[in-house]
Amino acid sequence: MNKILKGEGFQNRYRFSGTLTTESPLHIGTGSSSNDPKFFSQGEIKKFKDEKKDPPEVSLIIKDVNNKPIIPGSSLRGVMRHWLQDVLAGFGNQWSQIRNYEERTLTELDQEEQIQRVKDFSWVEFIFGTPFHEGKIDIWDAKCATATDKKNGNEKKFLGWDDNTLTYVETSVAIDPVKGTAIDKLLYKYEVVPPGVKFEVDIVGQNLSDLEIGLVLLALEGFNSHIYPIQIGSKGGNGYGRVKYESGKIYGLSNTEVKDWLTGMLNKGDKSNDGGYYMLPELSEDKKSSLIKEAKSAITGGLQSSR
């Protein structure tokens, strides 16, 4: 199939909107930690004092300027790519391939040759990018879209709950597998986002073929798989980072539609939300399903033809 790079002549532009709602605790660490007293109960603080120990460090999660949790676009991009890669690998190198991009046969090519080589790369590489080309989709940071109802004020009384950041701190203890006792020095504390918190997802793609749209949609539905779900953040082996994806509107604009779109925009009375990707024509639900279906059949079809 013919592959078109993002920067080649404008073919189309898509915006996939939707939400991700946490179904289990979520921890996307920043790598930094804190032992601020606010993370500990009075009893714990007293215990640390009595034992003359510093309070343990609490691993912090990534938050935005408003101190609300976010899911960075780079994290989403990583897990989606990884999932597609895992699932598609066995269906043939045209779908997914693990490649050493530092190999001389690649690095020693000139840029023009590299661009040509990229077109022979697998679809996953092609969509998500390699050191030789920019991927075809951009994934924005997913903003937290949940605010808690503070009417009854109960939240403040909850042990360990921080209503400003919508997080609490979990503790896990490493148990010595042979002695069966808790290992004091291996007490982990980490901040998590609880289940039920919603994040807004936006993915934008340029020059996407139907197959590529189908693969992106497949990956988004991967969050909802019961069998092999995409998980975000750490502790996935313990069921953390499960999220539910709800598809919002998918807008698309092809090069043939640009003129109509512009005319429509100009004739529109209300000028708010006019920019960029808004106000694009929408993709119907039927179209979405059929794109996924076609992508799947291409994947398995490829299998038959390669056999």
Q: Contact residues for other proteins (CB under 8 A)? A: 24-25, 41-44, 85-91, 96, 98, 146-149, 154-155, 157-161, 163, 166, 168, 170-181, 183-186, 192, 194-197, 218, 221-222, 224-228, 235-239, 242, 292, 296-297, 299-300, 303
Least CB distance from residue 99 to other proteins, whole Å? 12
Is the Cβ of residue 157 or residue 271 nearer to other proteins in the bound state? 157
Is the Cβ of residue 125 or residue 170 nearer to other proteins in the bound state? 170
Is the Cβ of residue 41 or residue 263 nearer to other proteins in the bound state? 41
Tokens of 257: 């539609």
Beta bridge partners of 188: 172
Least CB distance from residue 41 to other proteins, whole Å? 6
In the chain, beta strands by DSSP E: 12-22, 29-34, 58-61, 137-139, 143-144, 161-162, 167-175, 182-192, 198-206, 243-254
Least CB distance from residue 60 to other proteins, whole Å? 17
Q: Residue 61 and residue 72: Cα distance in Å, rounded?
A: 11
Q: Residue 143 and residue 62: Cα distance in Å, rounded?
A: 11
The residue behind tokens 């050493």 is: 100
Least CB distance from residue 57 to other proteins, whole Å? 13
Least CB distance from residue 18 to other proteins, whole Å? 14
Is the Cβ of residue 10 or residue 228 nearer to other proteins in the bound state? 228
Is the Cβ of residue 195 or residue 248 nearer to other proteins in the bound state? 195
Helix/strand/coil for 2: coil
Residue 103 is classified by DSSP as: -
Least CB distance from residue 217 to other proteins, whole Å? 9
Is the Cβ of residue 222 or residue 252 nearer to other proteins in the bound state? 222
Q: Which of 30, 122, 132 is nearest to 72 (CA)?
A: 30
Q: Output the CA torsion sign for 207, 209, 215, 216.
A: positive
The residue behind tokens 């997080």 is: 167
As to burial, measured by CB atoms within 10 angstroms (0-12 exposed, 13-18 middle, 19+ buried), residue 228 is exposed
Q: List Cβ neighbours of 40 (8 Å cut-off, separation of 6 or more).
A: 48, 55
Least CB distance from residue 222 to other proteins, whole Å? 6
Is the Cβ of residue 156 or residue 271 nearer to other proteins in the bound state? 156
Is the Cβ of residue 30 or residue 171 nearer to other proteins in the bound state? 171
Least CB distance from residue 168 to other proteins, whole Å? 5
Beta bridge partners of 12: 254
